[in-house]
Amino acid sequence: MKAQKKPLSKKIKKLRRERKIEQRKKYEFIFINGKQVKVKKDPEIDGIPVDDFIKRNADPIWLHQNELWHLIETKQDVTAETQKYDEDESEIPF
């Protein structure tokens, strides 16, 4: 004869619930080859991926000190962006 299972205490239920919430924050589920796989989430700052946050908020000196030269905007990048917008605004909107 099997032993009867005791119901979990409120303390254990609370611990399980908290652990589950923490796991949802750390991991996400994706499908690979038709199977569900748990993968770590990319770190975020204020809901923005870290790389995008750094691009938006870092100044060139900080980027240089941390060897992130690929994120530093050059004059060529800035002029290319402005030319793109100048071409789009050739039509009068009204």
Contacts of 88 (CB under 8 A, 6+ apart): none
Whether 57 and 33 map to the same domain: the answer is no
Is 32 part of a structural domain of the chain? yes
CA–CA gap between residue 6 and residue 41 (Å, rounded): 36
pLDDT at 86: 61
pLDDT at 31: 96
Query: What phi-psi label fits residue 41: left (phi over 0), alpha (psi between -120 and 50 degrees) or beta?
Result: beta
Whether 63 and 77 map to the same domain: the answer is yes
pLDDT at 56: 87
User: What residue type is 81 in one-letter code?
Assistant: E
Contacts of 46 (CB under 8 A, 6+ apart): 53
Per-residue pLDDT of the chain (94 residues; tens, 9 = 90+): 788 888 989 999 999 999 999 999 899 999 999 999 999 998 888 889 888 898 888 888 988 899 988 888 777 766 766 666 666 555 666 6
Is 21 part of a structural domain of the chain? yes
Domain count, the chain: 2
Q: What is the pTM of this model?
A: 0.48
User: What residue type is 73 in one-letter code?
Assistant: E
Whether 83 and 61 map to the same domain: the answer is yes
